[in-house]
Amino acid sequence: MTDRLEALLRHFPVRASILHAGALCGTHEIPLREHLGQLHLVKQGTVVVHHAAGKPITIARPSLLVYPRPCAHKFVIDSHEGAELACADLGFEAGAQHPLVAALPDALCLPLAELGSARPLLDLLFEEAFDQRCGRGEVLARLFELVLIQVLRHQMEVQHGHAGLMTGLAHPRLRRAITVMHERPGEDWTLDALAGVAGMSRSSFAQTFRATVGCTSGEYLQRWRILLVQKGLRAGKPLKLLVDDVGYASESALSRAFKAQVAVSPREWVRKAVG
């Protein structure tokens, strides 16, 4: 079976950096941090979280809390009981345009017990977090990134009735088509070709894709291609060198698709994004 996350994370990786590890008590505010999300792991204690993403959350057992997008929030912890937490900033390449950022809720809270297969990973992370070993920051950053992958796996397993990328990646047939678009964006992916990859009829594939992912396969493919173009432009590559990579017939055709998707020309976008 093709790997549903590999191409996504290869093109648009997530980088973690340690924010806090240790005991906390009282009130602690985490201001909105531009372009950064957070992943908090509560090892023990009760934490009441107030945030802009919705109603307060009371965490009373070992849990994780993910903010994929910038979100100001505040921890309120009993001054006598205290709590132990390990927290990291999450930097998603492409920011709010990162496919996984768009696919996740504003805030996601999960008991650690629901990530059963990740128990050894979590044990190692907490061991590193509450010890002062050399290279601790880098080790913790990599471990937080691995925990996030476990969260993404969990989200794919529990999707029920919510149209979007995670639901599409959870679908036993659609995920094949989504994955080949991610892996080989330069190929001529017609509706018939994608339906064949999914092992479905043309009409069934088209209907199921729209209902499950929330857009047509053609719209999804164009969105993915333009994200890759933006990544290339951000890295300083000229548009003409990106044409073949994303399956357009010419530079002018790519420019038209780019403007249709982003509402500005590639040149204007670069000037705003880099300037």
Render pLDDT for 61-92 as a digit per residue (tens, 0 to 9): 999 999 999 999 999 999 999 999 999 999 99
* Tokens representing residue 119 in the block: 């128990």
Render pLDDT for 174-203 as a digit per residue (tens, 0 to 9): 999 999 999 999 999 999 999 999 999 999
Which domain CATH number covers 106?
2.60.120.10
Same domain, 199 and 132: no
Q: Which helix (H) or strand (E) holds 252?
A: helix 251-262
Could you identify the residue written with the tokens 């979280």? 49
Examine the fold and report which residue of 124, 158, 192 is the final residue of a domain before the chain moves on: 158
- Return mean pLDDT, the chain: 93
Region of 2 (left: φ > 0; alpha: ψ -120 to 50; beta: rest) is beta
Residue 76 phi, psi (nearest 5): -120, 120
pLDDT above 90 (res 161): no
Q: What predicted TM-score, i.e. pTM, was given to this entire model?
A: 0.90
Render pLDDT for 240-273 as a digit per residue (tens, 0 to 9): 999 999 999 999 999 999 999 999 999 999 998 8
* Tokens representing residue 11 in the block: 């093109």
* Tokens representing residue 196 in the block: 């064949």
CB count in 10 Å sphere of residue 134: 7
Same domain, 123 and 206: no
Residue 57 structural domain: 6-158
User: Closest by alpha carbon to 46, among 84, 87, 20?
Assistant: 84
